[in-house]
Structure 1
């Protein structure tokens, strides 16, 4: 699941030999690369982590439609051309202190991008950050020229002190989502809690980050629709999640809904960061409930008899389904490894692989500085392409089973 390329200039022709497995690659390691050429890693939809310590330039569409990309380490990056990261829906942040040049659509549709601060870029385009719903503010102290519509956006303010009369006030930095944060509030014992990011801003649904409620029985239509920062939800006594309840909750990473029996149409549509659902009592799921869940790896649903293909879509890389009463599983997934289904007394072989025990899953770890240092030390010592990718996994990935 890791791809290592040692060339300095990474051309599409070099990457082409890996095209057949591009929807299975989770990590890309480029220890010597200085330039990523046009379209080089376009549509590597399963990639979660890129390590390129010497990278200086990414040409047009270099990482376009890396749908699951969460983190790229490229501290020396100076230029990111048109659509370089377009549709990297899961990318939270980028080391951009040396970045000098961005272009149209460079970060288009980076829906979970939370931070962007740079002092060297001198020119901004109106659509460089288009549809970055979670990006609250762009801090660009060096910008001297802005193109049309740069400042006409509903959800992102821009701080450019060199352009009089256009800059919004400088806001507090927006924290990134970390697994420590998710684990802390997933275990929270509070009966009722609403946590908002940055207390200096109004407490509106847009900034809601944690929602815990033991009194909620039914979650109404569009209850949290477009709560782009919502990360943790605990509704243990809820029995119904109606249509589009978490629609466009791009940052949602954890939900406790252990008593829910019904899930409505598009309930979790475009919840990009959700990697699993534990649906202990769910009996009915409507269409597109998990549409465009680019991080989704497994679903556990003991009471379901049929998993229909229209619950998710071609871009949802689901790898494993478990259900003691499953009679039929429709597989619509064309991305990632072949779908695995836990064997039970009812299922027969189909367009999936029956397994006798849950597989292990990987989760990219990049918050811990010690692991990053170990990884850097290991990668910097590589001399040839033949180095095993297992060394990368040891430092990058934490094996995670199903609990």
Structure 2
């Protein structure tokens, strides 16, 4: 039978590339000791709905590429999201990442149901087209820092109505 729920033990600090690619898992729960998710680790997991990764600091390129059912992501210590990490996660609705520092190019492109984004004071950069085609995005909360947002970071986000700026560090 196919495994649908995965719990990553404290003995593992890195989820390797291609580890669960295309598998029918629905939930991922990582121990706080897991620090990194490598490229394509969960690429094309069509049923993945919930990510609980309290200790993860870095998500590599295309780690959750086309996880179309993904609705909830809990990453309290996440600092770096590489390009295409959440590409075409159509069902993702909101993001709250208080420790994020860098959101690389096309990290959340075509997350069509994404309505709100909240980043903490640590944020240093949002790269080019990071939220390309997030047509439902209405609100973003981020720190006010000079030169932090690249050109076209929110290209195709025609419903963006509220940008709440908080004091940066």
Alignment of 1:110-259 (within 5 A): 110-141=89-120, 142-150=122-130, 153=133, 154-156=135-137, 157-163=139-145, 168-170=162-164
Aligned equivalents of 1:155, 1:25: Cα separation in 2: 32
Aligned equivalents of 1:105, 1:152: Cα separation in 2: 11
Aligned equivalents of 1:151, 1:108: Cα separation in 2: 9
Distance 1:144 1:47, change over 3 A: same
Partner of 1:94: 73
Partner of 1:254: none
Equivalent in 41, 49, 55 of residue 70 of structure 1: 49
Q: Shift of the alpha carbon at 1:164?
A: 5.6
Aligned equivalents of 1:110, 1:131: Cα separation in 2: 7
Partner of 2:58: 79
Q: Shift of the alpha carbon at 1:79?
A: 1.0
Aligned residue pairs total 147
Aligned equivalents of 1:86, 1:158: Cα separation in 2: 22
Distance 1:26 1:160, change over 3 A: same
Q: Normalising by structure 1, what TM-score?
A: 0.34
Q: Does 1:58 align with 2:40?
A: no
Q: Choose between structure 1 and 2 for higher RCO, CA contacts under 8 A separated by at least 6 residues.
A: 2
Structure whose CA Rg is larger: 1
Q: Normalising by structure 2, what TM-score?
A: 0.76
Alignment check: 8 A CA contact 1:145 1:163 kept: no
Q: Shift of the alpha carbon at 1:52?
A: 1.9
Distance 1:162 1:122, change over 3 A: farther
Structure 1: gaps spanning 5 or more residues: 2-23, 171-403
| Structure with higher strand content | 2
Listed one character per residue, the Cα deviations across residues 362-390 of structure 1 (whole Å, up to 9, x for unaligned) are: xxxxxxxxxxxxxxxxxxxxxxxxxxxxx
Alignment check: 8 A CA contact 2:106 2:132 kept: no
